[in-house]
Amino acid sequence: MNQDELKKAVAQAALDYIRPHLDQDSIIGVGTGSTANCFIDLLAEMRNDFDGAVASSDATAERLKSHGIPVYDLNSAAPLEFYVDGADETNEHLELIKGGGGALTREKIIAAASKTFICIADESKKVGILGTFPLPVEVVPMARSYVGREIVKLGGDPVYREGFTTDNGNVILDIHNLDISRPIQVEEKLNNIVGIVTNGLFARRPADLLLLGTDDGVKTIS
């Protein structure tokens, strides 16, 4: 299977996993990116079997709405039973790097507010140690240079994502060459840097379930 087929297969597996738990009142948390888009497109086929969704980005909200799926504000929906989203990297503990699409802040909030976070990914995303994919951090624009210097002190090489503004009006620094052999500690260090809104390490709250698309089928890892 090619990568697109693997993405569709894990999206279908996520739908099969949550379907028995859905009823007319269910509101589903939905992530951002090409894998999440596959999930949204499948979700549309059963839009009468649940109430609606909470979106982790404006792009996801638009895609949901284009399928006629009602989009709710998290404040009127939480706690959510399920959050389904992709990742840029995952390790065996289901600790993730997210934010390649720049939606990390809303993604992290919805993950925190959900009982079960289902990560859907093709096997190219599975790594031994996180960090080959540059770690995105969302930064308040006026703090960009200060945050960059603090990241250098941690041993990382921050690169400003040119021409990109998040849905929250902030900027992204992508951190290269950071040692993420201890993800929880790195996440906490970054949380302590003033000016960083959110870092893309999902280690303190990892995924609960990983549906990993492989040539041998979708593997369920928890």
Contacts with ligand 5RP by CB under 6 A lie at 31-35, 85-88, 98-104, 107
Shortest Cβ distance from residue 96 to ligand 5RP (Å)?
A: 8
Among 138, 146, 132, which residue's Cα sits nearest to residue 179?
132
Shortest Cβ distance from residue 133 to ligand 5RP (Å)?
A: 9
Shortest Cβ distance from residue 97 to ligand 5RP (Å)?
A: 8
Q: Which contacts of 157-165 are long-range, i.e. CB under 8 A and separated by 24 or more positions?
A: 159/134, 161/102, 161/136, 164/102
- Cβ 44 vs Cβ 69: under 8 Å: yes
Q: Which is nearer to ligand 5RP, 40 or 48 (CB)?
A: 40
Q: Which is nearer to ligand 5RP, 41 or 51 (CB)?
A: 41
Q: Which is nearer to ligand 5RP, 85 or 95 (CB)?
A: 85
Q: Which entry of 89, 107, 138, 187 is annotated as an active-site residue?
A: 107
125 is known to lie in a ligand binding site: yes
- Cβ 128 vs Cβ 163: under 8 Å: no
32 is known to lie in a ligand binding site: yes
Query: Annotated catalytic, 107?
Result: yes
Active site residues: 107
Binding annotation for substrate: 32-35, 85-88, 98-101, 125
